[in-house]
Chains A and B, each alone.
Chain A
């Protein structure tokens, strides 16, 4: 059975702090790993990673994948209150199925 585990489950920081969110996985026929941000209802896409060691970056967010150790991290630098959300990690197989972790709830205090 495909499995995605995220840590920590929740995190509280102050504006300006840097955070690292973790995602480990066990899946057959791995295709890609995706990060999503869920603020209220619908998760929205952040990054897709398919190759080890190549960092994806978008503003203050960045992510990297290690296919040997089966994990990914999502970094957020200089956090802002608007970064408060649930961050979801999902692993997609060659067959097209996406399995999600339980997410990390990030709270950024002013």
Chain B
């Protein structure tokens, strides 16, 4: 597609439920990132993929959070047993490549998925 697409744009769930957030990156972008943003704060790094593999998952807050990118394109962020503190906007971004010369390394962001846990 023309840009990074995230679905759903809004998700309201109850405490304890399971949620999946989907990200469809720009075609050809090998690097994909997940961030979480709370009101008044900057994007907080969660995980980044280079191709199909997670190159760095140091930002995942605990084992309730998991992300996959099985074919090196679409990624899904999965949150088990949601808690009220998980409420935030989850941003996905993609980049042409994360290493090498000749590229700016800029991230192209989607519009985010706003998660509200009641």
Q: How many residues of B contact A (CB 8 A)?
A: 28
The reply to whether the CB of B20 lies closer than 8 angstroms to some CB of chain A is no
CB distance from B82 to the nearest CB of A (A): 22
Question: In the complex, what distance in Å separates the CA atom of A88 from the CA atom of B111?
Answer: 16
**Are the CB atoms of B112 and A45 closer together than 8 Å?**
no
**Are the CB atoms of A96 and B109 closer together than 8 Å?**
no
Question: In the complex, what distance in Å separates the CA atom of A60 from the CA atom of B30?
Answer: 33
**Are the CB atoms of B42 and A88 closer together than 8 Å?**
yes
**Are the CB atoms of B42 and A102 closer together than 8 Å?**
yes
The reply to whether the CB of A80 lies closer than 8 angstroms to some CB of chain B is no
**Are the CB atoms of A96 and B111 closer together than 8 Å?**
no
**B residues 23-54 with Cβ under 8 Å of A?**
31, 33, 35, 40-45, 48, 50
The A-B contact count (CB < 8 A) is 67
**Are the CB atoms of A103 and B106 closer together than 8 Å?**
no
**Are the CB atoms of A96 and B42 closer together than 8 Å?**
no
The reply to whether the CB of A65 lies closer than 8 angstroms to some CB of chain B is no
**Are the CB atoms of A98 and B42 closer together than 8 Å?**
no
Q: Which residues of B contact A41 (CB under 8 A)?
A: 89, 111-112
Q: Which residues of B contact A43 (CB under 8 A)?
A: 43, 91, 107, 109
Q: Which residues of A contact B33 (CB under 8 A)?
A: 98
Q: Which residues of B contact A98 (CB under 8 A)?
A: 33, 45, 105, 107
A residues touching B (Cβ–Cβ < 8 Å)?
Answer: 4, 6, 31-32, 34, 36, 41-45, 48, 88, 90, 92, 94-103
B residues touching A (Cβ–Cβ < 8 Å)?
Answer: 4, 31, 33, 35, 40-45, 48, 50, 55-56, 89, 91, 95, 98-99, 104-112
Given contacts A96-B95, A98-B107, 13 further A-B contacts (CB under 8 A): A32-B105, A42-B91, A42-B109, A42-B111, A43-B43, A45-B104, A45-B107, A95-B98, A96-B31, A96-B50, A100-B43, A103-B41, A103-B42
